[in-house]
Chains A and B, each alone.
Chain A
């Protein structure tokens, strides 16, 4: 049987949507003009994923700017800061926790329902994890990083329960920040336990930017069914470690480097998958790109996804 394929979350926004978002931010159009374009782009990405032959789909996050800021804008207790530097000449607005974090209404539920309504294939519910939301925000309200992460976990648990009730079979709780402070892995695990408590849907966490060696095998304690890892960007140097400490969960195995314009050849992707099969049981492997593809062009993204699916089919 062929290995299942999926994506990590984001896809690039088509030019008409980028343009509309700029106009929206400048106040030139309102949300009633922006939203139909976000929906149009979502419809297009669902069709593209179906045509390529991907098994578990994502909505592509056409309605999100930044993954943390999007949730901050839709929860209460947050404000958005002035511009801060990400690197070089890149700046962004960072969430600021200024009050008790609450969820006045579901954040992603309507988008999940809309997207799942477009296809008979499963669409993943996508939530930004509590540890990452905490780590990527300024905190002016809670006494400690732990208090903030736990408060977020309680709120995000409700979101996950809502997604499950709406029919989500797969729910991904992204925690890219986990790899940055190995000393806080216990906090990340504690927060995730709150988020996934009692959830029957298959839960996934995505981790990237990583020096995984520092948090492996501890990450296997994260209470989710599947861990999705950025592996190809780091020349698969995690595999020897996984030989030493078996990977006990299901794995989302990244086989496409999202940081390069170069389209991998099928042979390169097949070789990466073969290496995965050497250390991880076949039934535990899902194949996907390393990370969200939003920084690639639409054409690069489609080409990369096609190579990935064809490589899986030919193996």
Chain B
């Protein structure tokens, strides 16, 4: 079993030192420090949270999304044709994101995450994964003032993501995670034909010697689209066992050919996981096989205070070690 994160890591904590990024962003907004000075602090904090993830014992880390204000605007804001605008609620969470508005044709002009990936690698000896918002979720959470056609909008995002994924694999990224919460959150309204085409297009960027590609869903039940997920060309399928306990029945009925990434730690509540979660993990491992299993929180950890996020990862690692017989 491989332990990892499913997204962001809290940018600030409770100590003065852990809050310097918040102060630096504030100072940069007010013109007291330069954009370059802020970037240096973002790098420092990125290393800090990578080391913190590393210390919890997880196997694969992420850069924590320290430079990201939210799940969409960092990537979408660096594409041509997109303007980042006002605040909108992020799914059914208590957080907001800046909404992308499509003004003209979406164009990917240069890599968005390659530099961030290369920097993150210098902070750890562990593999670093990169997490990107998927085309369906980006389309569902943007305002389209250009294409006036859902399929074309999803397609345009997919094309940009395909170029980004190719650039990241070329830079040696061992694992790219595409996040598609909208596939399960809005599962009644998404058109699976469009999704299938878009997600296949992105998977096409993977050459034979490239790293792995994961498709993660969370914030809802995958029941309606489970077959669709299984049939896709992804190496790893992420399911949210905390918000959709029925995931257990789904994998019992039909095992994924791909590896499973089980979101078993609730990244949206501070309640610490108990023994029942360890038992759940053992059951999942017995169904799909420990060799085929990634273990992670259900989504990014940004919803939690940093101290709780850290403890939850430590607990997850301990539960995983215990589920694999303590010999990991």
Seen from chain A, the residues whose Cβ lies within 8 Å of a Cβ on chain B are 81-89, 91, 94, 96, 135-136, 138-140, 180-181, 209
Contact = CB atoms under 8 A, between A and B. Distances in A.
B306 interface: yes
Interface in B269-318: 269-272, 302-308
B26 interface: yes
Interface in B79-125: 87, 89, 92, 94-98
A94 B305 CA distance: 9
Chain B: interface residue count, which band? 20 to 34
Nearest to A93: B305
29 contacts: A81-B270, A81-B305, A82-B13, A82-B305, A82-B308, A83-B13, A84-B10, A84-B302, A84-B303, A84-B304, A85-B12, A85-B303, A86-B94, A86-B96, A87-B69, A87-B96, A87-B98, A88-B70, A88-B96, A89-B22, A91-B12, A138-B270, A138-B271, A139-B269, A140-B269, A140-B270, A140-B271, A181-B92, A209-B89
Nearest to B26: A89
A264 B25 CA distance: 32
B14 interface: yes
Contacts of B302: 84-85
A85 B307 CA distance: 14
B11 interface: yes
B10 A89 contact: no
A288 to B, nearest CB: 22
Given A82-B307, A84-B303, A180 B92 contact: yes
Contacts of A87: 69-70, 87, 95-98
Contacts of B19: 83
B92 A84 contact: no
Contacts, number: 63
| Best-surrounded residue of B13, B95, B97, B272 (most CB of chain A within 10 A) | B95
Contacts of A85: 10-12, 95, 302-303
Given A83-B12, A138-B270, A88 B98 contact: yes
Contacts of B92: 180-181
B150 to A, nearest CB: 18
Given A86-B95, A91-B12, 19 more contacts: A81-B270, A82-B13, A82-B305, A82-B308, A83-B12, A85-B12, A85-B95, A85-B302, A85-B303, A86-B96, A87-B70, A87-B96, A88-B69, A89-B22, A89-B29, A91-B22, A135-B94, A138-B269, A138-B270
Contacts of B29: 89
A136 B94 contact: yes
Nearest to A88: B69
Contacts of B308: 81-82
B137 to A, nearest CB: 17
A140 B271 CA distance: 5
CB-CB nearest 10 A-B residue pairs? A82-B305, A87-B96, A140-B271, A138-B270, A89-B25, A88-B69, A82-B14, A181-B92, A81-B305, A180-B92
| Best-surrounded residue of A84, A94, A135 (most CB of chain B within 10 A) | A84
Contacts of A88: 69-70, 96, 98
Nearest to B23: A89
A185 to B, nearest CB: 13
B315 to A, nearest CB: 14
| Best-surrounded residue of B13, B87, B302 (most CB of chain A within 10 A) | B87
Contacts of B70: 87-88
Contacts of A136: 94
Nearest to B90: A87
Contacts of B89: 180, 209
